[in-house]
């Protein structure tokens, strides 16, 4: 079985409209932060993130989501301090699925108020980068057929889109991690670097 120890360093991500947020690994103490993030999504976004299947995020589920197995999973949260308090505005993760041992299934979501400024694309690039570092061969994702923003984002991020093998409501998006895509090279702003530079914007 593929095993690795995922310990991603915190890094700054800047949006296309010049705002900056901190991307870091999820912590056990993030359950309330993550709960507020998911509860703050519009019903449409929550349905798309969980494929319609979530009736409230239970404390047990949130606790599970804040304790990824570092050998086989990755979970990132994007944090802003814009309103004077800490808030989560995005999350991205991958975990083992039913497929081959070197495959991971990803999911992500961005707060509705922050969608459309490049955050989703930046989160996808981070997932791909960590997957490559950690020896993952392929990322796959299941996407509701009517989720056009996610289908567009997947295509934009070098994934191919196919029918889902078992669920007619879904499409399956797949990307081989060893194959670089043009978009992978776009810069992220590392901590300690002046992030107001246009060169460092996620675009
Ligand atoms: C899908 C989602 C993550 C996209 O995040 P985002 O931050 O809005 O995406 P970005 O601004 O980075 O957009 C990246 C690309 O995705 C595509 N895209 C994003 N939103 C789109 C929309 N509403 N319509 C069409 N294409 C869209 C575009 O190709 C875009 O590139 P461009 O900005 O150069 O045109 C976000 O809409 C979301 O959280 N949705 C709800 C949860 C969800 O669907 N999760 C996926 C479950 S697997």
Tens digits of residue pLDDT in 29-85? 999 999 999 999 999 999 999 998 666 789 999 999 999 998 889 999 999 998 889
Taken in order of first residue, the domains within the chain and their CATH numbers are 11-186 (3.40.630.30)
Given pLDDT bands bounded at 50, 70 and 90, which one contains residue 17? very high
Position 4 pLDDT exceeds 70: no
How far is ligand 1, taken at its centre, from the CA of residue 147, in Å?
Answer: 9
Q: pTM for this one?
A: 0.88
Ligand 1 test: best mutation among 120, 148, 151, 186, most atoms within 8 Å of CB?
Answer: 120
Q: Which residue minimizes the CA distance to atom 23 of ligand 1? A: 149
- In this predicted model, which residue has the larger pLDDT, 196 or 181? 181
Residue 63 phi/psi, 5° resolution? -60, -45
Ligand 1 atom closest to the CA of 142, numbered from 1? 48
Position 191 pLDDT exceeds 90: no
Rounded to whole angstroms, how far apart are CA atoms 77 and 22?
A: 8
User: Is the beta carbon of 120 within 6 A of some atom in ligand 1?
Assistant: yes
Given pLDDT bands bounded at 50, 70 and 90, which one contains residue 201? very low
Point out the least confidently predicted range of 49-53, 129-133, 160-164, 180-184.
Answer: 180-184
- Percent of the chain with pLDDT strictly greater than 70: 83
User: Is the beta carbon of 201 within 6 A of some atom in ligand 1?
Assistant: no
Using CA atoms, how far residue 12 sits from 22, 122, 191, 197, in Å, is 5, 11, 6, 13
What is the helix, strand, coil percentage profile of the chain, to 5? 30, 25, 45
Ligand 1 atom closest to the CA of 51, numbered from 1? 47
């Amino acid at each position: 079985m593929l095993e690795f120890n995922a310990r991603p360093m915190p890094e700054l991500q800047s949006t296309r409209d010049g705002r900056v947020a901190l991307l870091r690994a999820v912590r056990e103490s993030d359950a309330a932060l993550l709960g507020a993030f998911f509860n703050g999504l519009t019903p449409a976004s929550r349905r798309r993130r969980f494929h319609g299947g979530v009736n409230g995020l239970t404390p047990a589920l949130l606790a599970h989501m804040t304790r990824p197995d570092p050998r086989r999973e990755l979970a990132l949260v994007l944090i802003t301090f814009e309103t004077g308090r800490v808030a989560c505005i995005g999350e991205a993760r991958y975990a083992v699925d039913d497929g081959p041992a070197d495959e991971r299934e990803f999911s992500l979501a961005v707060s509705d108020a922050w969608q459309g400024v490049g955050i989703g694309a930046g989160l996808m690039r981070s997932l791909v980068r960590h997957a490559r570092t950690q020896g993952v061969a392929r990322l796959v994702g299941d996407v509701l057929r009517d989720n056009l923003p996610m289908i567009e984002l997947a295509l934009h991020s070098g994934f191919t889109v196919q029918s889902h093998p078992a669920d007619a409501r879904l499409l399956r998006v797949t990307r081989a991690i060893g194959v670089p895509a043009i978009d992978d090279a776009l810069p992220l702003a590392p901590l300690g670097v002046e992030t107001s530079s246009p060169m460092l914007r996620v675009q």
